[in-house]
Structure 1
Amino acid sequence: MDVVSDAVSTIRTGRPHSARTHMTAPWGLRFPSLPGAGFHIVLQGSCWLLPPDAAEPVALSSGDVVFVSHGAEIALASHPGSPLEMVTQEMDDAWAPVDWDDAAGGRTVLICGSYQLDRARLHPVLAELPPYIHLPKRVGHHGSLNSVIDLLGNELDHRCPGTDAAIPTLLDAMLLYILRSWYEDQAARSATGWAGALADTAVNTALQLIHRDPARPWTVEQLGKHAGLSRAAFARRFTALVGQPPLAYLTWWRMTTARHLLRQSDTPLRSIAEQTGYTSEFAFNRAFKREYGMTPGTYRRQGGMEAPAIA
């Protein structure tokens, strides 16, 4: 798997949810904070995004996407000054549309929803995202994302056999296309941080190798050779863009992978040790305890609750 896919798969929990909502002005919705991430799509009409940081309102048009990266509370409204109604959540975690009188004014159709994410071990490719991402619909841009949105809107509007299975799959795809679109846009503007790392051929090659085979005893020299750079030049470039040296990132990813396997599977500890590059269960236990403050077995028995940091 590639870096972005891995980053998402290791923190995903449960199923994503969404609801299609028809609004007639005047209206205003305040969405509560989430433990995961939220998204809002304008299918028809227009509205305003009221950001979580009290920044200036952002005008949204048909086809625009707003991704609330870290689950902050935000609001959408027909006008920046519209009164806001708090949105509630039903038992299935789908956003419950608020009933509004059919007053005169423009109609807006929204898809609003959420992803359930475990933020305890957030990959930096996700951690460095801003509080919210606005992806305006532009001709010739984000074509794959726009196609997924069209399919999702059609499934929500015309429920057919298989819709219940199709919607979560489309939502999963949409999350990846949102992230891809954001990082492609960022890479076009700046070559720093993870946008730069994913766009840099040498660094991205090394990242793919680490994610494809974290159990391999990689050396900086080997990774640099595959990346087409000398050991020193590769180490400098990787550290500058990723934020940590190559082998430090390798260890971090091994431990993140191990944590995910312990939480989401009943894979034996010896097998997890092998999959994450440790020659013995003892070595794996020691490395895991150093990282998380407890042994892998204890971590699994406690349901993935990490030990508190020591001040």
Structure 2
Amino acid sequence: MLLQDLAVKIRWAAYKNVPEDWTDIRHQKNVHSFYWIRSGKGCFRSAKGDYEAESGQLFYLEPGLNMHMAARGGSELRMIMILFDCTRLSGEIGRWLHPSPVERLDLPDRSAFEGEHAALLDTGLSRIVESWTPGTPVRETEAHAALLGLVARLHADLTPEQDLAKTRFEQGVELIGQRFAEPFTAEQLAAELHVSVSHLRKLFLRYAGETPKRFLSRLRLRHAERYLLHTDWSLHEIARACGYSDEFHFSRMFKKERGLPPSTFRKQHGKDE
């Protein structure tokens, strides 16, 4: 999953403080949920197992998961609760593909944080709760942006180091981003990552939903579109800047993907050749 393709919509965000005898079930099961334990103790029980909840723990509940929750330990249980939809968006400039719901984020069911990390997470989640004001576009947008940033940081912090496959994929994406302007091939990328071409293809199909060749081609086209829209560069200059062998190759590939020549695309969007 590419984090930059994610979009979120918060359905509920609130502080939740419950008494020592509190019990409840998960009512809204069609959304993603974060439960951050600020203080107190409790128990979260699902088909995946029983989890003792205590201060500094973050629970992530995927859509469809049944959960029974209860306070424990003879004291108030203080939490932050955020319920949200999550969708994957993809497309090109001026052309979006249909959104596809994310069934599960690549996060553990339960994670523990201490010290500075716990304080930063508490601050970030509190900011989301305090920003989210339904019906107020600016504050809702701020809350959604904060949630996306938090999800990205959690992915970075909680991805297991032993997940070599995902690490290889992310290294491949970074290399493509650095070298798309060069005559870079899938064979060269595989060699630099010390994997076979077939394994590289499997990695990109698994995490990006497309082959490395297609990923590189789309990246080059996105950069080419930006140059067409925001510079007065010639087609020859754009072709060189985006890794095409010459302007004829660039024009042929652009027309194949966009349905019109790059010069026509530029004219239609306010730039003259």
Report the TM-score, using the length of structure 1 for normalisation: 0.53
Q: Aligned to 2:63, which of 71, 74, 92?
A: 71
Alignment check: 8 A CA contact 1:32 1:74 kept: no
Alignment check: 8 A CA contact 2:131 2:142 kept: no
Q: Give the drift of 1:212.
A: 5.8
Q: Give the drift of 1:12.
A: 0.5
| Secondary structure in structure 2 of the residue aligned to 1:60 | strand
Identity fraction in percent: 10
Alignment check: 8 A CA contact 1:43 1:63 kept: yes
Q: Could you tell me how far apart the structure 1 residues matched to 2:14 and 2:215 are?
A: 37
> Match for residue 77 of structure 2?
108
Answering whether residue 174 of structure 2 is matched by residue 178 of structure 1, we say no
Q: Aligned to 1:56, which of 49, 62, 71?
A: 49
Alignment check: 8 A CA contact 1:64 1:136 kept: yes
Between Structure 1 and Structure 2, which shows a larger proportion of strand residues?
2
Return closer, same or farther for 1:208/1:112 CA change in 2, 3 Å cut-off: same
Return closer, same or farther for 1:253/1:116 CA change in 2, 3 Å cut-off: farther
Return closer, same or farther for 1:44/1:17 CA change in 2, 3 Å cut-off: same
Residues 24-48 of structure 1 show CA distances to partners (whole Å, capped at 9, x for unaligned) of 123213142235x321111111222
Number of aligned positions between the proteins: 222
Alignment check: 8 A CA contact 1:46 1:62 kept: yes
Higher RCO, 1 vs 2 (CA within 8 Å, ≥6 residues apart) = 1
Report the TM-score, using the length of structure 2 for normalisation: 0.59
Residues 253-311 of structure 1 show CA distances to partners (whole Å, capped at 9, x for unaligned) of 766999xx9xxxxx99x97xx99x9744541158xxxxxxxxxxxxxxxxxxxxxxxxx
Alignment check: 8 A CA contact 1:48 1:60 kept: yes
RMSD: 4.7
Code of the residue aligned with 1:180 in structure 2: it is A
Alignment check: 8 A CA contact 2:42 2:52 kept: yes
Instruction: Give structure 1 stretches of 5+ with no counterpart.
Output: 81-103, 198-202, 262-266, 287-311
Alignment check: 8 A CA contact 2:34 2:59 kept: yes
Code of the residue aligned with 1:177 in structure 2: it is R
Q: Could you tell me how far apart the structure 1 residues matched to 2:258 and 2:43 are?
A: 51
| Secondary structure in structure 2 of the residue aligned to 1:12 | strand
Q: Aligned to 1:208, which of 168, 174, 185?
A: 174
Instruction: Give structure 2 stretches of 5+ with no counterpart.
Output: 89-98, 133-137, 230-238, 245-249, 260-273
Residues 163-207 of structure 1 show CA distances to partners (whole Å, capped at 9, x for unaligned) of 877644442322112211221xx22xx34432x43xxxxx54322
Answering whether residue 123 of structure 2 is matched by residue 150 of structure 1, we say yes
Code of the residue aligned with 2:81 in structure 1: it is C
Alignment of 1:235-254 (within 5 A): 235=197, 238-239=200-201, 248-251=211-214
